[in-house]
Structure 1
Amino acid sequence: MAVAGAGVAGSYLAFRLLDAGYAVDLYDLPAQTACGTAPCAWMATRDFSAVLEAEGFEPEKYVTARFDVFLLQGQRVGADLMTIDKPALVADLRGGAEVRTGPLDPAGYDRVIDATGTARACLPPIAADDLCRCVQFRVRDGSGEALPAVRYVRGGYAWSFPLGGGERHVGCLSHLADPVGLVGKTGFLDGERLCGCRGRLRVTSPYGALPFVSGNVWGVGEAIGCVYPLVGDGIVPALVSARLLLDHFDDPAGYTQAVLDAFPAMQQERTVLERMKDGRRPSPAWLAEVDTSRLGIRVGVASAAGLLLKMLAR
């Protein structure tokens, strides 16, 4: 068996399958970033702790800070968010699995798990795929700002998340424009830039990323669209989809249905995104279609949904 992709989902699956007695080869591309992980804000939502605990891991080992407030356009908003040490998490999820960097031939294995994220290297291409551009920097500024901050940009949002020690993760995603030209206007990049990277997010949703299984290849995580389209959070969905694959290991139809059933909110967000990318102005009727409960935003359901919609209505 082969697992392609040594991120959150791939590392976890390789470890679990090795532990279950399978012969597993774990493949990945050479590290393209200074931290050795795919571009990511290192921010997790409230379900992070419960998902890790269910898999036998101690979530507090990876949580660097918890936040019950963040700054949205400079205004304090209640939330339930946390920053995490993603490289440490991936390393522990992987256990002792060795990572190979050579080419992978799917025909040489009885099963291949495609955990290659936006590359979707082993599964068939998606007919109407949608990849959102993002950019991120690690910044040292000594400002002492202790709260996460978010600002609207054209077609998305920019963020500044404290990592401790005077450092922050600063990034931007946009569904409509190049984020590099947008993040600099926020003021978040003031300071010493320690590293930077660019990437893409699959915002197609699982409903638009079928098939999840093709021949001897099974997809997981972002390779099958398990990312919330509006905000782009995918760490928790990656782990959830990996568990579903293990639970339906010999039942491709059951696995496909389980993934679709697990993330109905992703399809709701995808529908909203498609409307706005078509140039339609947000309608009050759309607000109930956006579920922000995982973010813990405490400004009322309608108001929280409205905040997300404003990001894409500019």
Structure 2
Amino acid sequence: MKIAVMGMGVAGSYLMARLKNSNHEVIGYERNREENHDSICAWGTIKPVLTEFCKKVDRDFNDFLIHDGKNMHVKMNNDVKFDIGLHGMCTYDKLALIKDFIKDSKIIYGEAPKLEDLEKEYDMIVDCTGFGRAYLPKMKDDFFLPTYEYKVEYEDGVPYDDFYIEPFPGMSGYFWYFPLGEKWAHIGAGDYNKQHIKATDDFLKKHGGKVLKTKGRPIRLATPDRCKPYYSGKVVGVGESIGTVYALLGEGIIPSMQCVDIFVENMNDFAAYEKAIEKHYKVYAKVFNFVRAKIHKDFSFIKALPDFLSIFFYMKKNQDRFGMDIKISDLLKVAKA
């Protein structure tokens, strides 16, 4: 087949690498010019998981590793502070890995062709445009958070030696500090109640630092069950365009790459792809319902207890995938804040 992959973010670039040695003719499109091609949102992930993804396309994740986390410092809005032990959570040069994934592929930069033009030329169009969902039908019931982030340089020492987060009241989002080596960090926040810019600026005023880059965009929290259709005609969605973000953490890198693997296994059968997506991301709906109820102040812990326990057991079972110690006491502190 002749395939167009639209969007060279995490999902699109990894898909290009996965299909590089296939029998298909695959061409990538990135709406930004090559010199402006960038990676939105912080560069945090789980080292063992990314190592396995990279092995599938003959890359060494260690070439892109920046910081190996040991502890995540958490401060709740009621001034409760605690640390979560980390086992694999890290920061990496996300943009460098994206560019490495596509370095040997044909990429057309600075263009966002119309769907009707793509349909004339290609047998399949893969929508990896993330939140934009530019080529799939519009969703009926979207749900997202606005986010804002600075890349900051600290000449006189970094304010934290490891990951640091501050969840907002009612689980409406959180502020993050992700270390990027000896004197750099990503600081930013996402918040349904739109306090994300103030929280980021307040941290900058308190701790100083030189702003090197500013980014902002929405992040989709609506889960795959809310993001149908996954395909329409020649178009099929992969990654955040069909809701592959873990709502409790706002994490989309690993879920989007998992989505790519599921797609590659089922790319000749869209119906089978849909079933595989529904199965893999089933628990995401429970996570989303839990978070949304907190945000909308329509939350009863008694009613939410079954979902809470499902989320806990899912994360505990997959503790290595989340790269941290999963303790029910820590989840309760967040849930009850």
Q: 1:228 aligns to what?
A: 246
Q: 2:72 aligns to what?
A: 70
Q: 1:173 aligns with which of 190, 204, 207?
A: 190
- How many angstroms apart in 1 are the aligned matches of 2:35 and 2:189? 17
Q: 1:61 aligns to what?
A: 63
Q: 2:5 aligns to what?
A: 3
From the superposition, tell whether residues 267 and 56 of structure 1 become closer, same or farther in structure 2 (CA, over 3 Å): farther
- How many angstroms apart in 1 are the aligned matches of 2:99 and 2:34? 16
Percent of aligned pairs with the same amino acid? 24
Aligned partner letter, 2:241? A
Do residues 277 (structure 1) and 285 (structure 2) align? no
Q: 2:151 aligns to what?
A: 138
- How many angstroms apart in 1 are the aligned matches of 2:173 and 2:207? 17
CA deviation digits over 1:111-159, x for unaligned, max 9? 1000000000000011001121111101112324321111123421111
- How many angstroms apart in 2 are the aligned matches of 1:191 and 1:106? 45
- Give me the TM-score of the superposition, normalised by structure 2: 0.84
Q: Which runs of 5+ in 1 are unaligned?
A: none
Q: 2:118 aligns with which of 106, 109, 116?
A: 106
- How many angstroms apart in 2 are the aligned matches of 1:260 and 1:249? 15
Q: 1:23 aligns to what?
A: 25
CA RMSD of aligned residues (A): 2.2
Look up the SS of the partner of 1:236 in the other structure. Answer: helix
Do residues 13 (structure 1) and 30 (structure 2) align? no
Q: 1:298 aligns to what?
A: 325
Do residues 288 (structure 1) and 306 (structure 2) align? no
- How many angstroms apart in 2 are the aligned matches of 1:118 and 1:190? 31
From the superposition, tell whether residues 183 and 31 of structure 1 become closer, same or farther in structure 2 (CA, over 3 Å): farther
Q: 2:92 aligns to what?
A: 84
From the superposition, tell whether residues 33 and 143 of structure 1 become closer, same or farther in structure 2 (CA, over 3 Å): farther
- Give me the TM-score of the superposition, normalised by structure 1: 0.90
- How many angstroms apart in 1 are the aligned matches of 2:218 and 2:145? 5
Look up the SS of the partner of 1:222 in the other structure. Answer: helix
Q: Conserved in 2, the CA contact under 8 Å of 1:153 and 1:182? A: no
From the superposition, tell whether residues 88 and 38 of structure 1 become closer, same or farther in structure 2 (CA, over 3 Å): closer
Q: Conserved in 2, the CA contact under 8 Å of 1:230 and 1:308? A: no
CA deviation digits over 1:36-88, x for unaligned, max 9? 32321100035333333344432222221211212111533212311011011
Aligned partner letter, 1:201? I
CA deviation digits over 1:268-306, x for unaligned, max 9? 211102212331245162531334434343262x12322
From the superposition, tell whether residues 229 and 237 of structure 1 become closer, same or farther in structure 2 (CA, over 3 Å): same
Aligned partner letter, 2:45? A
Q: Conserved in 2, the CA contact under 8 Å of 1:13 and 1:242? A: yes
From the superposition, tell whether residues 99 and 78 of structure 1 become closer, same or farther in structure 2 (CA, over 3 Å): same
Aligned partner letter, 1:91? K
From the superposition, tell whether residues 24 and 53 of structure 1 become closer, same or farther in structure 2 (CA, over 3 Å): closer
Q: Conserved in 1, the CA contact under 8 Å of 2:127 and 2:238? A: yes
- How many angstroms apart in 1 are the aligned matches of 2:207 and 2:38? 21
Runs of 4+ in 1 over 6 A off after TM superposition: none
Q: 1:244 aligns to what?
A: 262
Q: 1:254 aligns to what?
A: 272
- How many angstroms apart in 2 are the aligned matches of 1:14 and 1:54? 12
Aligned partner letter, 1:150? I
- Give the number of aligned pairs: 309
- How many angstroms apart in 1 are the aligned matches of 2:52 and 2:332? 27
Look up the SS of the partner of 1:290 in the other structure. Answer: helix
Look up the SS of the partner of 1:164 in the other structure. Answer: coil
Q: Conserved in 1, the CA contact under 8 Å of 2:145 and 2:221? A: yes
From the superposition, tell whether residues 33 and 180 of structure 1 become closer, same or farther in structure 2 (CA, over 3 Å): farther
Q: 2:78 aligns to what?
A: none
From the superposition, tell whether residues 94 and 31 of structure 1 become closer, same or farther in structure 2 (CA, over 3 Å): same
Q: Which runs of 5+ in 2 are unaligned?
A: 76-80
The structure with the greater share of residues assigned to helix is 2
Q: Conserved in 2, the CA contact under 8 Å of 1:150 and 1:157? A: yes
The Cα of 1:261 is off from its aligned counterpart by: 1.4
From the superposition, tell whether residues 31 and 200 of structure 1 become closer, same or farther in structure 2 (CA, over 3 Å): farther
- How many angstroms apart in 2 are the aligned matches of 1:297 and 1:213? 35
- How many angstroms apart in 1 are the aligned matches of 2:102 and 2:333? 37
Look up the SS of the partner of 1:257 in the other structure. Answer: helix
Aligned partner letter, 1:287? F
